[in-house]
Structure formats: C-alpha cells, structure tokens
Amino acid sequence: MRVYETEIASRLMLGTAQYPSPATLAEAFRRSGAGIATVSVRREAGGERAGAAFWDLVRELGVTVLPNTAGCHSVREAVTTAQMARELFDTAWIKLEVIGHADTLQPDPFGLVEAARILTEDGFQVFPYTTEDVVLAERLLQAGCEVLMPWGAPIGTGLGLTNIYGLRTLRAQFPDVPMVVDAGLGLPSQATMAMEMGFDAVLLNTAVAKAGDPAAMAEGFARAVEAGRLAFEADPMEPRDMAAPSTPVIGKAFLS
C-alpha cells in the first residue's frame, strides 16, 4: 500500500490504547505484523515528558507512527493537537479527528474539512477520519487530503460494516484514492469483507485490545486482511440467483 509517497508493507493498522499491559501491546503488534501504530497525542507525549516510557515502547515496535487528534471537538483544538504531534513525533502525518456527536463519535463534517484545509496548507499529510458520505469525501480531497478513512461503524462498537451500500459507493466513486476502513470492526470476518470490497487497509483498536487474547486476535485480523485482499485481487465471481451445477452433466450415465 502506498500513501503520501510512502510504501507500507502491511494493510493492517493498529491503535495503541486500552491494552492490559505494555507486553501485551508489543506482542499484539509482533503477531499482527501491523505496519502503522496510531497514538493519541492527548494521552501520550514524547521526549522526556509524561509519556516517555510509552513513546519508548512504540519506538521499539519498529512501526510507523500515525499520531491522531482523538477527542478533539473543534477545529482549533484539532489543529493545535496536530501541531503538538508534529513536534513530539517528528512527522507530518496526522490522523485527523474532529468529533461532532458525543454519543456516536461521528465526525463533524464542517469542522473536519476546515481543519483538513488548514493542516494541509501547513504542510501536514492528513488522514481524515470520516463517514462514508461521498460529498464529504469530495470536499476532503479538495482540501488536500490524499487518503480517506471512512468508518465501518461508530468507534468501539464492534458492529462491523453497518452501511455496505454507502461504503461500496464511496469506493466506486474514488477508485484511485487510498482508503482505510477505520473504526467499528469487531471480528476478523468484517475486516475480510472490507478488503474484499476493495478497501486498501483497515485500522482498529478496541477489537484487539479488549479481546480475551489480544495477540491472538491481532494475528487473526492480520490473516483476515490478507485473505480479503487476495480475494479482491483474484476478481471473485459475481453472485447469481439461480443454481448452476459445478459438475457438468454432459457424459453422465443415464439409467433406462
């Protein structure tokens, strides 16, 4: 997968929150082979500050860090957090979240586009957490985003792909734009479905961190993502309403 002129070996991205221990977090990343780790700037810090131990752990994972603006509810808050992230983690990448609804954690579409424009003009490479809305996607691309991160379902719900029609439409509308299904996945089978639909990657956190065995679940998601991508590239058969025998009837013996 290629985003912002950078090649990423794995199509699975993992969050770093809610794990029962640092050792469990490290083992989950090892078994998943995830190439990108998202880190909340509101919770952690780099250098010699409060989150130094956590930052050391993330560096030891050997993965690309994608800071995010999780928990931001305004453009100003998101932009300020992104600027902090650039200083702390020395990266122009930012996963942009501007939350508009407290219960569903749905993005604020107006604030999201405005923040994306401000950050892009400031040299950031923005990964916007968005819905499957095609018009919103168009506005984000016009604002300078080169990748889109539509949700599968509200963050942390594990409901999977709740609007398959919307996601298929979004994927078809922008076939050349890298897209990552972000949030709401609960099972590896749901990740497989997203990849079979042609999405480029998936990002998840809670489904792994809150599993009884996070490392095993992380590996399960990794295999599911690989299976889904292989199926997409193999050009699967179209579904049909009528049955069709897989064994030909020509040459079959008939009893009189």
- Rg of the chain in Å (alpha carbons): 20
Q: Is 205 annotated as a binding residue?
A: yes
Return d(Cα 65, Cα 116) in angstroms, integer.
19
- What six digits make up the tokens of 238? 């179209």
> Is 179 in a helix, a strand, or coil?
strand
Q: Which is it for strands 2-3 and 6-7: parallel, antiparallel or unpaired?
A: antiparallel
Q: Is 183 annotated as a binding residue?
A: yes
Return d(Cα 106, Cα 153) in angstroms, integer.
9
Q: Is 184 annotated as a binding residue?
A: yes
Q: Is 188 left (phi over 0), alpha (psi -120 to 50) or beta?
A: alpha
Return d(Cα 132, Cα 168) in angstroms, integer.
9
Per the DSSP assignment, residues forming a β-bridge with 64 are 36
Task: Report which secondary-structure segment, H or E, holds 38.
Answer: strand 36-40
Task: Report yes or no: 186 and 208 within 8 Å, Cβ to Cβ.
Answer: no
- CA-CA distances (angstroms) from residue 222 to 7, 111, 160? 18, 33, 16
CA nearest neighbour of 116 among 87, 91, 137, 85: 137
Under 8 Å CB-to-CB from 251, ≥6 apart: which residues?
A: none
Q: Is 137 annotated as a binding residue?
A: no
Q: Which residues are catalytic?
A: 95
Q: Is 191 annotated as a binding residue?
A: no
Binding-site annotation, residues: 156, 183-184, 205-206
Which residues participate in the annotated binding site for 1-deoxy-D-xylulose 5-phosphate?
Answer: 156, 183-184, 205-206
